[in-house]
Amino acid sequence: MRHHFLELIRRAATVLPADVTAALRSAAKREAPGSAAKAALSDVLRNCELAASSSRPLCQDTGTNLWQVYLPQSFSQVKVKSEILAATKAATKKAYLRPNAVDPVTGQNTGDNTGIGAPVVHFHEWTRKAVVADLLLKGGGSENVSALYALPHQGLGAGRDLEGVRKVVLDAVFNAQGKGCGPAVIGVGIGGDRATSMLEAKEQLFRLLNDKNADPTLAKLERKLLKQCNALEIGPMGFGGATTVLGVKIGKRHRLPASYFVAVAYLCWAARRASVTITGKGASFSEESEIAKTQIQPKKGRR
Amino acid sequence: MRIDIPVSEETIRSLKVGDEVELYGTIVTARDAGHKLMVEERPKFIEPFIKDGAIYHCGPVMKKRGKKWQVVAAGPTTSIREEPYEAKVMEDYGVRVVIGKGGMGKDTLAACKRLGGVYLHAVGGAAILAADAITQIKDVFMLDEFGVPEAFWICEVSGFKAVVTMDAKGRSLHKKVLTRSKKQLKSQLGD
């Protein structure tokens, strides 16, 4: 399994998914001729072509490695985890990943991307016979501008409803300015607790940009926020321009009566995700994660 | 516009927000650990490489081939984290060019005006384009102590592209975009 996981990491780090590339291309067309925003987007697209053709990481910050792994009932999580760790170390050696695991107390970098809580691996057991692993690489610049709100938020006039959600998402995107490498993909988690609202927001980032939320109310809010975020005119890299975000993806979790959290996960344009399905016959790779599939097919829900 | 490093104060003062530049010469990577060190301990070893020179906010991916380091990916990191340090670093070491992404705050902008400095924005995430403009790794400092991303990498560059977003006249594109987007936000919140 190790070499399939290594290949998964290589793909995630070096090849931008087709839906993201397409969104960046149409964003480049929208920016004014001769603008810094247009030039930045065309550099980004050229950069990705070079990265893919030379198998080099398209961004030097290969980020938090977030794994979602689905296992048949007979599989050992311990064994699969050790395969993931081995693949992570090998990928670092091959320079698909930058050594990114730093001890916050001693300041020491482990040098191989493994450490306490690194990489982040979530296991799910299921009834299918295949092993599926979905991987998201999320850079630190974009993580730093992600935000968690507890509603009500008096300063923003944001109450405990979808109108309040709309307001805090706009606030988060405004606060990010150009610091998170936009145009961004915005994952939003409504509800849950402080930990799981953010997890929900991050899981939303696995969705395809051109999908449609299964929940019509959230689908409508996604479309509205996409338009309103772009009206902020922060633009690619914060240079000013028409495209501040490429997509807004919203999920929900049941909350306590006392709490109403809204987590906003900002993902840089380098929205690096990849997926592998491993069966007895071998491995097949794709850019569509299990979360992406379940979000648009609610009847096969994973929870 | 071509800029050779080391660079004169006069050349820097002639640059304005929006100018596209290509850098030639030596630039030095420094980020969080490096800036903290420069302010708190003021090490001498780095001085010859950044006097009238350039600091690049970047934590690269590197690969060792035999005894030589090779740069794999080297886009900019978010500059605002160095805001508490940058003005002092520019003053203490005579740095004229700060390269990064996302822009910096009022202290750095004031330092650019006072000392004759400029902030250049490279395209965030475009790590391969940046890496391909680095022709040679001349040396590295603090590698064992800081690890690969945080070490001072002394890079020779040829045609490294960036845009001036903060200039020595005190103008900042970031300030302009912030002001405009704040107005937009206000109208959206009232929606």
Suggest the residue from B81, B132, B177, B186 to mutate for an interface test with chain A (most A CBs closer than 10 A).
Answer: B177
| More confident call, A296 vs B14 | B14
CB contact under 8 A, B131 and A102: no
Which residues 65-124 in chain A show a CB within 8 A of chain B? 95, 97-100, 102, 107-109, 111
| Single-letter amino acid code for the residue at A279 | T
| Single-letter amino acid code for the residue at A26 | S
* Cα–Cα distance for residue pair B126/B162, rounded to 1 Å: 11
Mean pLDDT of B18-45: 97
For residue A85, give the 3-state DSSP assignment: helix
Query: Does residue B117 surpass a pLDDT of 70?
Result: yes
* Cα–Cα distance for residue pair B2/B21, rounded to 1 Å: 6
CB contact under 8 A, B59 and A232: no
DSSP state of A299: G
Q: Closest CB to A268: pick one of B121, B125, B146.
A: B125
Q: Which residues in chain B touch residue A141, judged by CB atoms under 8 angstroms apart? A: 77-78, 101-102, 124
For residue range B145-179, what is the model confidence (pLDDT) as tens digits?
999 999 999 999 999 999 999 999 999 999 999 99
CB B140 within 8 A of CB B134: no
CB contact under 8 A, B128 and A95: no
Residue with tokens 């919140």: B189
Residue A296, pLDDT score: 58
Residue B190, pLDDT score: 86
Determine the distance in angstroms separating the CA of B56 from the nearest CA of chain A, rounded to an integer.
14
Burial class (CB in 10 A: 0-12, 13-18, 19+), A154: exposed
Residue with tokens 């490498």: A181
Residue A101, pLDDT score: 97
For residue range A19-46, what is the model confidence (pLDDT) as tens digits?
999 999 999 999 999 999 999 999 999 9
Confidence of residue A295 (pLDDT cuts 50, 70, 90): low
How are the residues of chain A apportioned to helix, strand and coil, as percentages rounded to the nearest 5?
Answer: 40, 25, 35
CB contact under 8 A, B163 and A36: yes
The verdict on A42 touching B (C-beta cutoff 8 Å) is: no
Q: How many CB atoms lie within 10 A of CB B4?
A: 11
What's the angle, vertex CA B73, arms to CA A270 and CA B102, rounded to 5?
55
Q: Which residues in chain B touch residue A100, judged by CB atoms under 8 angstroms apart? A: 149
The verdict on A238 touching B (C-beta cutoff 8 Å) is: yes
* Cα–Cα distance for residue pair A232/A170, rounded to 1 Å: 9
Residue intervals in chain A for CATH 3.30.360: 2-13+58-139+272-300
Determine the distance in angstroms separating the CA of B7 from the nearest CA of chain A, rounded to an integer.
24
A vs B: CB pairs below 8 A: 170
Q: Which residues in chain A touch residue B176, judged by CB atoms under 8 angstroms apart? A: 240
* Cα–Cα distance for residue pair A184/A109, rounded to 1 Å: 28
Mean pLDDT of A274-280: 97
Query: Does residue B56 surpass a pLDDT of 50?
Result: yes
CB contact under 8 A, A60 and B74: yes
Percent of chain A with pLDDT over 70: 97
Q: Closest CB to A99: pick one of B78, B147, B176.
A: B147
Q: Which residues in chain B touch residue A35, judged by CB atoms under 8 angstroms apart? A: none
* Nearest Cα residue to B16 out of B1, B6, B27, B4: B1
Query: Does residue A297 surpass a pLDDT of 60?
Result: no
Helical H segments across B123-172, by residue range: 127-133, 143-146
Residue B191, pLDDT score: 60
Suggest the residue from B16, B128, B148 to mutate for an interface test with chain A (most A CBs closer than 10 A).
Answer: B128
DSSP state of A198: H
* Cα–Cα distance for residue pair A226/A251, rounded to 1 Å: 15
Residue B104, pLDDT score: 97
Percent of chain B with pLDDT over 90: 98
Chain centroid to Cα A171, Å, comes to 19
Percent of chain A with pLDDT over 90: 96
Cα dist from B50 to B29, B31, B96, B130, B165, whole Å: 10, 14, 8, 19, 20
Q: Which residues in chain B touch residue A60, judged by CB atoms under 8 angstroms apart? A: 58-61, 72-75, 127, 131
- What is the ipTM for the molecules in this complex? 0.91
The verdict on A269 touching B (C-beta cutoff 8 Å) is: yes
Q: Does an H or E element contain A223, and which?
A: helix A216-230
B35 is catalytic: yes
Mean pLDDT of A46-65: 97
CB contact under 8 A, B102 and A180: yes
Helical H segments across chain B, by residue range: 9-13, 32-40, 47-50, 83-93, 106-115, 127-133, 143-146, 173-189
* Cα–Cα distance for residue pair A21/A181, rounded to 1 Å: 15
CATH 3.20.130.10, domain B2-189, yes or no: yes
Residue A301, pLDDT score: 44
Helical H segments across B96-166, by residue range: 106-115, 127-133, 143-146
Cα dist from B178 to A134, B76, B102, B103, B129, whole Å: 36, 21, 11, 11, 28
Instruction: Give me the residue spans of the domains in chain B.
Output: 2-189
DSSP state of A281: T
Q: Give the CATH fold of the A2-13+58-139+272-300 domain.
A: Dihydrodipicolinate Reductase; domain 2 (3.30.360)
CB B26 within 8 A of CB B154: yes
For residue range A106-127, what is the model confidence (pLDDT) as tens digits?
999 999 999 999 999 999 999 9
Residue A188, pLDDT score: 98
Determine the distance in angstroms separating the CA of A221 from the nearest CA of chain B, rounded to an integer.
14
* Nearest Cα residue to A247 out of A293, A170, A203, A186: A186
Cβ partners under 8 Å of residue B175, min gap 6: B109
> Within 13 Å and on the Cβ side, how many CA atoms surround A72?
10
Catalytic member of B35, B57, B121, B174: B35
Confidence of residue A292 (pLDDT cuts 50, 70, 90): confident
Query: Does residue A303 surpass a pLDDT of 80?
Result: no
Confidence of residue A293 (pLDDT cuts 50, 70, 90): confident
Q: How would you label B39-58 residue by residue, b for 16+ Cβ within 10 Å and e otherwise? A: beeeeeebeebbebbbbbbb
* Nearest Cα residue to A68 out of A130, A134, A113: A134
Strands (E), B43-102: 54-56, 61-65, 68-73, 97-100
Burial class (CB in 10 A: 0-12, 13-18, 19+), A149: buried
The verdict on A137 touching B (C-beta cutoff 8 Å) is: no
Q: How, if at all, do strands B68-73 and B61-65 pair? A: antiparallel
